[in-house]
Structure 1
Amino acid sequence: MSDTVQKSLSAQSWRDLILLAALWGGVFFSNRIALFEIGPITLVAHRTVWAALLLWCLAIFRKTSISLSPRLWMVFCVMGLLNNLIPFSLLNFAQLTVESGLASIFNAATAFFGILLAALFLPDERLTMTKTMGVALGFLGVATAIGFSHLTAFDPRSLAQIAALLATLSYGFAGIWARKHLTGVSPLIAAAGMLTCTAVIATPLAHYIEAPLTLSLGSATWAAITYGAVFGTAGAYLLYYRILASAGSGNLLVVTLLIPPFAIVLGALFLNESLPPRAFAGFLLLAIGLIVLDGRWLAKRGSTRDS
């Protein structure tokens, strides 16, 4: 992330970041509610079908130019797999066993995988000493949150936590793919296209692996699906790209720090979840790692020392 140290955040950008964190923090809560009735892949299918429809309607309403080549659809399909189908399914699977707040803490590892993968696959990215320190702290935080004893004991809870981590790895690959193939594509069309491809793949997959998709679901499940599709996916993507344009990709690292508090509080209030102390210790290490990656605090300390 070559632009990690960049623009100062305006008051509006802070409001947008907090809103985006609240939306995505709420997704962990809504997913847990929906998973009481439907399976992980079925939830992905519902979430992406309705979100894609909403975004295409918005594109038509805005009269957005839509020019889609077979190559671009292929790009959308790969992006849909890496950014939606694989990580959504893995996180949903994880939430069958681990707390929604803990899943959101693991989700913060996305930034660290993104840094490593960018250094491997993007020629303009270098793994500097500062980035190496930040990544090391981040992965130490992940290991702490999992619990060192669970790293060798592969019980269902351990497997669920590993699934959550693999989801963040998939997000990291999605970021590389987007950098290489989606530059210049309208954010609205890119989001609608990848969600459409995800829905087309996830719907038959859910049908054969879990159960035929049905609209006969409980009101709580529909409320959770509606939130996840409308606010946590379609609305969140639009807000994400607005922050990206106004504040830069480096500042979007901040949102990964802000998501877990929302997920943890919602899980504690409405799902009676409680996290072990190691989860909070791991989150603290993740936060320190992200601060090191961001670089502004260290740069400010250095300039103060030199003055």
Structure 2
Amino acid sequence: MELASVIRLLLLSAIWGSSFLFMRIAAPVLGPAMLIELRVGFAALFLLVVGYFLKKKLQLMQHWRHYFILGFFNSALPFLLLAYAAQTLSASLLSILNATASIWGAIISALWLRQALPMKKVCGLLIGVVGVAILVGFDNASLEPGAKLAIAASIGAAVCYGIASSYAHSAKSVEPFANAHGGMWASTILVLPTLLFFPVVETPSSNLLLSVVFLGVVCSGVAYLLYYRLISDVGASSALTVTFLIPIFGIFWGSVILQESIGWSTVVGTMVILLGTALVTGFSPRQVFAARKSKLR
């Protein structure tokens, strides 16, 4: 992997890892609905500007149903679930639970294609479940009021990402940038009615609003552009490495900015979940670099 791609990978991991930090800060103030409406709205506006300069068209009349399905499972619902969970759970715990998305993606893909899961993937799933059990069973945050529902919401968000990845893979006729752009506009519309059920808790400060702008423009808009550039440069298998790095940055940001404690269960649970994810997805660093070396030849 070239140095430029490594830098993009680390930058993307740091950005997506920081999204849990900003949700943890903003969700208790704005509530989940307003936070996510602003997040997807700012992301949609940013991608609109980028699309204008790149001369990228959405072809709304042809693909509007696709954008709404993708927007619902890839942004609107998982973002709302994570924002709801962020009112209770730490940024570290949110980022680690989110790492199970690859496991759910592999399972849903197998069900989608009606294919039996190989024993290796079944073992990976069981290991991932054990990792989640270690993580939440020995974490003091799981004892807080509403924590169990928040944990279920976080895992639900990961399941949504698995559904979205399987659906997007089956809809190859739409280019990646259009998926990101159209999905964000659809999410903006879909999240709007939820504002009636989750009112703003208190008036946000200007610094908090800047954090929300960063969450939308950088953690959603810019991150998507980086991710699709990585897929183009190094392939999907190498880009998958971001799944393993996001929890590391999520834990780092939570520890440095919010002074969240890192216990043994956090470290062990994370490692077990990532091991299960590697088995389910078939990810192997050796294969990634071997594929990259053959590509250079």
How does the TM-score come out when normalised to structure 2? 0.88
> Partner of 1:93 in structure 2?
84
Is the aligned partner of 1:259 residue 2:246?
yes
Q: CA offset at residue 149 of structure 1?
A: 9.9
Q: Which amino acid aligns with 1:219?
A: S
Matches of 1:149 and 1:262, distance apart in 2: 19
Q: Paired residue for 1:18?
A: 10
Task: Report the Cα offset of residue 299 of structure 1.
Answer: 7.2
Pick from 92, 97, 103: which aligns with 2:94?
103
**Which residue, out of 260, 284, 294, partners 2:282?**
294
* Bigger fraction of residues in helix: 2
Work out whether 1:48 is the aligned partner of 2:46: no
Instruction: Please give the per-residue CA displacement for 1:231-289, whole angstroms capped at 9, x wherever unaligned.
Output: 10000011111112222222233112111121212212221211442222110101222
**TM-aligned CA distance change 1:299 to 1:42, over 3 Å:** closer
Within 1, Cα distance between the matches of 2:283 and 2:180? 30
**What is the DSSP-based 3-state SS (H/G/I as helix, E as strand, rest coil) of the residue aligned with 1:39?**
helix
Q: Is the 8 A contact 2:30 2:200 kept in 1?
A: no
2: CA distance between counterparts of 1:184 and 1:24?
Answer: 27
Amino acid at match of 2:235: G
2:160 maps to 1:170: yes
For residues 297 and 37 of structure 1, the distance between their equivalents in structure 2, rounded to whole angstroms, comes to 41
Shift of the 92–212 alpha-carbon distance from structure 1 to 2, 3 Å rule, reads: closer
Give, in whole Å, the separation in 2 of the partners of 1:269 and 1:89: 25
CA contact (8 A) 2:91 2:254 kept: yes
In the TM superposition, 1:118-157 aligns within 5 A as 118-122=109-113, 127-147=117-137, 155-157=145-147
CA contact (8 A) 1:25 1:260 kept: yes
CA offset at residue 213 of structure 1? 11
Q: Secondary structure at the match of 1:185?
A: coil
**In the alignment, does 2:215 pair up with 1:228?**
yes
Give the stretch that moved more between structures: 270-279 or 281-290. 270-279
Matched position secondary structure for 2:29: coil
Change (3 A) 1:255 1:248: same
State how many pairs are aligned: 286
Q: 1:175 to 1:49 in 2, by over 3 A?
A: same
Q: 1:185 aligns with which of 167, 174, 196?
A: 174
For 2:36 and 2:283, how far apart are their aligned partners in 1? Answer: 35
Gaps of 5+ in 2: 289-297
8 Å contact 1:13–1:247 — kept in the other structure? yes
What percentage of residue pairs aligned between the two structures are identical?
Answer: 30
Aligned position for 2:20: 28
- Cα distance, 1:15 vs. partner? 1.9
Q: Which residue of 2 aligns with 1:57?
A: 49
- Check whether the contact 1:115–1:135 (CA below 8 A) recurs between aligned residues: no
Aligned partner of residue 260 in structure 2, secondary structure: coil
Cα distance in 2 between the residues matched to 1:158 and 1:281: 20
The residue number in structure 2 matching 1:283 is: 270
4+ runs deviating over 6 angstroms? none
